[in-house]
Chains A and B, each alone.
Chain A
Amino acid sequence: MELEHSFTVPVPPEQAWQVLLDVERIAPCMPGATVDSVEGDVVKGRIKVKVGPVSLTYSGTAHFVERDDQSRTVTLEASGKEMRGSGTASATVRSSLQDEGGGQTRVIVHTTMSVTGRPAQFGRGVMAEVGGRIIERFAVNLAALLAGEGPPEAGTAATSSAAANSSAAANSSAAPVAAASGAAAAPAATGPAADGAVPLEELQLPVRAYNSLRRVGIHTVDDLSARTEAELLAIENLGPQSIREIKQRLAGLGRHLAEQRAPAAAAAAAGPNGAEARPQPAAAASGANGAPAAAPAPNGAGAPGATQPSGPGATQPSGPGAPRAARPPDEDAIDLLSVAGFPVLKRALPVIGAVVLLLLVIAGVRSRRRRG
């Protein structure tokens, strides 16, 4: 899910920018957060979420993935694992500052958040909503922190609450933010809309296929159409049936999978979990404007790791101009296999029983023949 908050603080942008870059000071703005350690730019910590009787604690890290001093935009990425369960939560928080003049700064906080695992299914999407509120509180705290930096006479009166006019803020911030991500990537990769980075959700794939693709770092239709059929088949949990489905959905958008690529690149890009250490050609293909074949990488090649959701090639899904995901990932259907656990074995029992019975009958028949 995506959230947008904006507020104005009574300090000049230069001053607010310094605070915004200090992870150690930003992290405590997160309600329920405890900072365990700080090493350089990476903060390790925990966050406790309590909703009525439900309490969840996530532990993980937060660090900066992108920073642009020109446009004063910084992206903080936080991800954590449930301490007493298997769920995960992650958030990419992009904050940008705009000079409003007269020592006032407008802060725009754009958050992309996802929650997986049992908590995500619990209570029919409650966790997503609760996450939204946590981010809202974060924005309010951040406003207070930044305002606290201001001249004493400004006091707290000038702080403002998280603005409700999120859509308006989204529009106004679209230009600088897009420019920032474009600049970081390459001049060629311009605004998200022009780039046509359609999020994977648009394909409305079956959950299993969708999850498998996401797991190997395929987040957009471009990412997908840069892969060949053979590469997709090599992905865990993706069978011919899923591939057929994917091809159909792609065709619906007038797209298709990549043709067989050059042997060297194909060999490197295949493999079950291919995306992690994918070499440049593949990364470039996914970053470039949907070029199906592995074109030589002009610039996007420098992207560190194609899986990084906030990497230059992949910022678009969360970009303000990108079409809204038809189905946010936190609404995935419950994964029966991971929930069922042992009962899966139970389901196999009849089969095992039948096999044992068959063996017994065969043994019985044999011994009778021998006797006879």
Chain B
Amino acid sequence: MIPAKFDYVRPSSLDEAVRALDEGGEDAKVIAGGQSLLPLLRLRLAYPELLVDVGSLGDLRGVWDEGETLLIGALTTHDDAIRDPLIAAHCALIAQAAGRVADPAVRHLATICGALAHADPAADMPAVVLALGGTMIAQGPGGERAIAAEDFFADYLTTALAANEILTGVRVPKLGPGWGYRYEKFHRTAQAWAIVGIAALARRSNGQVAEARIGMANMGPVPVRARAAEAAAAGADANADALRSAAQHADEGTQPPADLHGAADYRRHLARVLTARALAVASGA
């Protein structure tokens, strides 16, 4: 289908983009890779009056080493992330998860920050950034502010970003020595959304899991941490049985959706099974 009519601007600087967005009001939207927004436009589920294309803000594309952290620019695509040496060296969970997003054509256009700002509960990246404890960098008319991943995802497709703010990047911590990672995604076809996705990080020491961080996709209206399972895994022996019993707590406190792809109970089950698998790989059990 052909989208409804909208205005389009392609500013050449971030300030200009923020100004355009601010003037556009409620019905203005930022478009980067467009891999989430364009389908919505074509299905006529979204009717923005103005699209602010940030595609020419080239200096927002890339990954920068900031010492303790990595900064991933807003225009960095999933494919960039898969091939980036800094991400591979310090935060390879992102590359692994990015490799499981949709298909290569989409990954070449879709940006990591676009996926975060779109905040689809079934998307992979929000759960990964949540597990990593990332920080979103937003630019508005009043300047820049940082929003922790925990506070960023507000509801279905809704984030803490104001209507006149642009997500300019995401800052993620470098994983130190001893950390393992795994993204487990269960979906019907290779390019489909996750029915449930589990991003697990585990730090191993002396044959035990010292610390675990688990982010879950599509287990509620926003990505959630599996706090109970994290607590149960901390101090557990790094073997499959111990981690499986820790993973039994994965769905605690969640409100998974029920839809064509699975009932809520089915998702709870998936969360437990996938968490066990992800933890086992992450901790090298």
Residues of A within 8 A of B (CB): 51-56, 84-85, 118-119, 122-126, 129-130, 331, 333
Query: For residue B29, which residues in chain A have a CB less than 8 angstroms away from its CB?
Result: 53
Q: Which residue of A lies closest to B259 (CB)?
A: A125
CA distance A279 to B256 in the complex (A): 45
22 contacts between A and B (CB under 8 A): A51-B156, A51-B158, A52-B156, A52-B157, A53-B37, A54-B45, A55-B46, A55-B47, A84-B4, A84-B47, A85-B44, A85-B45, A119-B45, A123-B156, A124-B218, A124-B259, A125-B257, A125-B258, A125-B259, A129-B221, A130-B156, A333-B260
Query: For residue B46, which residues in chain A have a CB less than 8 angstroms away from its CB?
Result: 53-55
Q: Within the complex, what minimum Cβ distance (angstroms) separates B40 from chain A? A: 6
- Given contacts A54-B40, A124-B193, could you give 11 more A-B pairs where the C-beta distance is less than 8 Å? A52-B118, A53-B45, A53-B46, A53-B48, A54-B46, A122-B43, A123-B120, A125-B259, A129-B156, A129-B221, A333-B260
For residue B122, CB closer than 8 A to chain A, the reply is: yes
CA distance A370 to B252 in the complex (A): 83
CA distance A124 to B158 in the complex (A): 16
Query: For residue A331, which residues in chain B have a CB less than 8 angstroms away from its CB?
Result: 258-260
For residue B131, CB closer than 8 A to chain A, the reply is: no
Tell me if B257 and A124 are in contact (CB < 8 A): yes
CA distance A342 to B157 in the complex (A): 31
Query: For residue B243, which residues in chain A have a CB less than 8 angstroms away from its CB?
Result: none
Tell me if A56 and B45 are in contact (CB < 8 A): yes
Interface size on B, residues (CB 8 A): 27
Q: What 0/1 readout, one digit per residue, does chain B (149-163) give for beta carbons within 8 Å of chain A?
A: 000000111100000
Query: For residue A56, which residues in chain B have a CB less than 8 angstroms away from its CB?
Result: 45
Tell me if A53 and B156 are in contact (CB < 8 A): no
CA distance A130 to B259 in the complex (A): 13
Query: For residue B145, which residues in chain A have a CB less than 8 angstroms away from its CB?
Result: none
Tell me if B157 and A124 are in contact (CB < 8 A): no
Query: For residue B119, which residues in chain A have a CB less than 8 angstroms away from its CB?
Result: 52
Query: For residue B221, which residues in chain A have a CB less than 8 angstroms away from its CB?
Result: 129
| 3 interchain residue pairs of minimum CB distance | A52-B157, A125-B259, A124-B259
For residue B261, CB closer than 8 A to chain A, the reply is: yes
CA distance A124 to B257 in the complex (A): 8
Residues of B within 8 A of A (CB): 4, 29, 37, 40, 43-48, 118-122, 155-158, 193, 218, 221, 257-261
Q: Within the complex, what minimum Cβ distance (angstroms) separates B274 from chain A? A: 18
Q: Within the complex, what minimum Cβ distance (angstroms) separates B221 from chain A? A: 7
CA distance A239 to B161 in the complex (A): 52
Q: Within the complex, what minimum Cβ distance (angstroms) separates B159 from chain A? A: 8
Q: Which residue of A lies closest to B119 (CB)?
A: A52
Q: Within the complex, what minimum Cβ distance (angstroms) separates A206 from chain B? A: 14
Task: Indicate whether A54 sits within 8 Å of B157 (C-beta atoms), given known contacts A84-B4, A124-B122, A129-B221.
Answer: yes
Please pick, from A51, A84, A333, the residue contacting B157 in the complex, using a CB distance under 8 A: A51
Most buried by B among A52, A85, A124, A333: A52
CA distance A126 to B118 in the complex (A): 14
CA distance A284 to B145 in the complex (A): 66
Q: Within the complex, what minimum Cβ distance (angstroms) separates A95 from chain B? A: 26
Query: For residue B40, which residues in chain A have a CB less than 8 angstroms away from its CB?
Result: 53-54
Query: For residue A51, which residues in chain B have a CB less than 8 angstroms away from its CB?
Result: 155-158
Q: Within the complex, what minimum Cβ distance (angstroms) separates B197 from chain A? A: 13
Q: Within the complex, what minimum Cβ distance (angstroms) separates A134 from chain B? A: 12
Query: For residue B4, which residues in chain A have a CB less than 8 angstroms away from its CB?
Result: 84
Query: For residue A129, which residues in chain B have a CB less than 8 angstroms away from its CB?
Result: 156, 221, 257
Query: For residue A126, which residues in chain B have a CB less than 8 angstroms away from its CB?
Result: 121, 156-157, 257
CA distance A126 to B65 in the complex (A): 38
Query: For residue B157, which residues in chain A have a CB less than 8 angstroms away from its CB?
Result: 51-54, 123, 126
Q: Within the complex, what minimum Cβ distance (angstroms) separates A329 from chain B? A: 13
Q: Which residue of B lies closest to A57 (CB)?
A: B47
Q: Which residue of B lies closest to A122 (CB)?
A: B45
CA distance A51 to B120 in the complex (A): 11
CA distance A14 to B165 in the complex (A): 50
Query: For residue A122, which residues in chain B have a CB less than 8 angstroms away from its CB?
Result: 43, 45
Query: For residue A124, which residues in chain B have a CB less than 8 angstroms away from its CB?
Result: 122, 193, 218, 257, 259-261
CA distance A119 to B47 in the complex (A): 13
Tell me if A125 and B260 are in contact (CB < 8 A): yes
Q: Which residue of A lies closest to B157 (CB)?
A: A52
CA distance A56 to B259 in the complex (A): 20
Q: Within the complex, what minimum Cβ distance (angstroms) separates B254 from chain A? A: 14
Q: Which residue of B lies closest to A330 (CB)?
A: B259
CA distance A227 to B33 in the complex (A): 54
Query: For residue B48, which residues in chain A have a CB less than 8 angstroms away from its CB?
Result: 53
Task: Indicate whether A118 sits within 8 Å of B43 (C-beta atoms), given known contacts A124-B257, A129-B257.
Answer: yes
CA distance A58 to B261 in the complex (A): 27
CA distance A215 to B205 in the complex (A): 63
Q: Within the complex, what minimum Cβ distance (angstroms) separates B224 from chain A? A: 15
